[in-house]
């Protein structure tokens, strides 16, 4: 790889890492933050079920912002350059993180919600990084490897961010620690990321400055893209998989808090374990498998495995057995994500990569918007129900895969 490509890809890796780090630091924070009866965010007499329902809608805010922002920023990057789109999205993410941290310090639910919504809207650098990685790749296998590398970095960032978030938000470790501290740190890293993009990144596409940006065009492209049968089929599988993954991912902290009395620090340790599993799956196992089997065959096996272990997660009553099932779920999911993303990317030309990756993140964000709401409502009936619903949704993705994509 020539020096300029290495520098570009390094900048993409750093941006991808920081974006996931900023997202991961909140993983151990919000479930204990919302469920703690001592927290002044709610009146002490608000029931756990009500708090969990509000938590579900709150977790929706970030993904809702991504759903609205990702296609717009992807379209902007196609027409005005990846560098400019990356720089603006990272800068506004920094501002939104500052707003979130300050609002948490003040226990202001409205502005915390607004901060997460704005963070999600501008946190589209992941789709831009995927577009740039596609620009730098010369063939399909190289593209899948780059996507796998970025996914592995995402897993590593999740390890670091969630583990640090759990420790730095736990006041029992130090009186200086609080729920907002990790978000301030994430904001600092995001500001550094902005400077790295300005200094170290060079454009990966030819910018057509005479083409005017149309904010509505990205939504028109979604409509047009979904009329194409091969894109529609894989996106349906992708959407259902991510809805199931979100139910699992967002409500594991609730499960561990309610069943095993986990603290912020304990959830950080759990995140460390999940992140290692993710990095192994999306990095080593992904690279090993794509050189030996067809992407579609790998995807079908991972979807089946994920569905089975997602259903099993509600049954163990001991924490260590639960961790084994969670780890296997994460392994299968971490292989499926870059494979599915690579298949989607290969359905369109290089000129459409920004649109298709922005659309991918938008579809993913829609799934991640619906997941917390479904889980929050399901939790009203049973602690186990969100995971059983997730297994059912994932099972539906398997069925659709075999009916529409199996014989490709």
DSSP character for 351?
Answer: G
DSSP character for 281?
Answer: I
Q: Where are the domains of the chain?
A: 12-202+221-404
Name the residue among 226, 239, 262, 273 with its Cα closest to residue 67. Answer: 239
Per-residue pLDDT 10s for the chain (408 aa) are 466 777 888 888 899 999 988 988 988 898 888 888 777 788 878 887 788 888 888 888 888 888 788 777 877 777 788 888 899 999 999 999 999 999 999 988 899 999 999 998 888 677 788 778 878 877 777 777 788 788 778 878 878 888 899 999 988 889 899 999 999 999 999 999 999 999 888 877 666 555 565 666 556 655 665 666 777 888 889 999 999 998 888 889 888 988 898 988 899 899 889 888 887 898 789 888 988 888 888 999 999 999 999 999 988 989 999 999 999 999 999 999 888 888 887 777 666 666 676 677 677 778 888 888 898 888 888 888 999 999 999 999 999 988 887 665
pTM to 2 decimal places: 0.75
DSSP secondary structure string for all residues of 17-82: HHHHHHHHTTTTTHHHHHH-TT-TTS-TTS-HHHHHHHHHHHHHHHHHHHHHHHHHHHHHHHHH-H
pLDDT of residue 24: 86
Q: Which residues contact 50 (CB under 8 A, 6 or more apart)?
A: none
- In whole angstroms, give the CA distance from residue 22 to residue 161: 7
Name the residue among 252, 216, 236, 336 with its Cα closest to residue 286. Answer: 336
The residue count for the chain: 408
CATH number, domain 12-202+221-404: 1.20.1250.20
The predicted-structure confidence for 280-333, as pLDDT tens digits, reads as follows 898 789 888 988 888 888 999 999 999 999 999 988 989 999 999 999 999 999
Name the residue among 302, 313, 320, 300 with its Cα closest to residue 375. Answer: 313
The predicted-structure confidence for 176-186, as pLDDT tens digits, reads as follows 999 999 999 99
């Amino acid at each position: 790889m020539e020096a300029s490509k290495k520098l570009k890809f390094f900048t993409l890796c750093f941006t991808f890492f920081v974006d996931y780090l900023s997202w991961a630091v909140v993983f151990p924070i919000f479930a204990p933050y919302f469920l703690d009866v001592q927290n002044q965010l709610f009146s002490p007499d608000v029931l756990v079920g009500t708090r969990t329902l509000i938590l579900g809608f709150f977790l929706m805010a970030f993904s809702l912002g991504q759903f609205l922002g990702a296609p717009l920023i992807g379209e902007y990057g196609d027409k005005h350059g990846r560098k400019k789109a990356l720089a603006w999205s990272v800068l506004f993410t920094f501002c939104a993180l500052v707003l979130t941290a300050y609002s948490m310090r003040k226990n202001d639910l409205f502005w915390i919600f607004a901060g997460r919504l704005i963070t999600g809207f501008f946190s589209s650098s992941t789709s831009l990084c995927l577009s740039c990685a596609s620009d730098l790749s010369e063939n399909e296998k190289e593209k899948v490897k780059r996507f796998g590398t970025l996914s592995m970095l995402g897993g590593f960032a999740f390890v670091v961010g969630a583990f640090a978030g759990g420790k730095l938000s736990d006041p029992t470790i130090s009186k200086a620690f609080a729920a907002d501290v990790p978000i301030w740190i994430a904001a600092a890293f995001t500001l550094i990321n902005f400077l790295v993009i300005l200094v170290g990144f060079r454009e990966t596409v030819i910018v057509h400055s005479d083409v005017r940006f149309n904010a509505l065009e990205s939504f028109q492209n979604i409509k047009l893209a979904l009329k194409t049968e091969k894109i529609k089929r894989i996106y349906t599988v992708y959407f259902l998989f991510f809805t199931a993954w979100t139910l699992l991912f967002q409500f594991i902290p609730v499960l561990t808090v309610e069943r095993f009395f986990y603290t912020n620090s304990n959830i950080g340790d759990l995140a460390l374990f999940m992140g290692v599993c993710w990095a192994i799956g999306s990095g080593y196992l992904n690279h090993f498998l794509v050189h030996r089997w067809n992407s579609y065959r790998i995807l079908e096996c991972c979807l089946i495995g994920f569905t089975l272990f997602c259903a099993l997660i509600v049954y163990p009553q001991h924490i260590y057995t639960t961790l084994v099932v969670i780890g296997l779920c994460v392994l299968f999911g971490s292989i499926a994500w870059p494979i599915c993303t690579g298949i989607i990317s290969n359905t369109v030309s290089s000129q459409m990569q920004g649109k298709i990756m922005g659309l991918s993140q938008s579809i993913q964000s829609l799934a991640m918007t619906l997941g917390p709401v479904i889980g929050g409502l399901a939790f009203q009936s049973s602690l186990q129900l969100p995971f059983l619903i997730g297994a059912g949704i994932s099972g539906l993705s398997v069925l659709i895969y075999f009916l529409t994509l199996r014989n490709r």
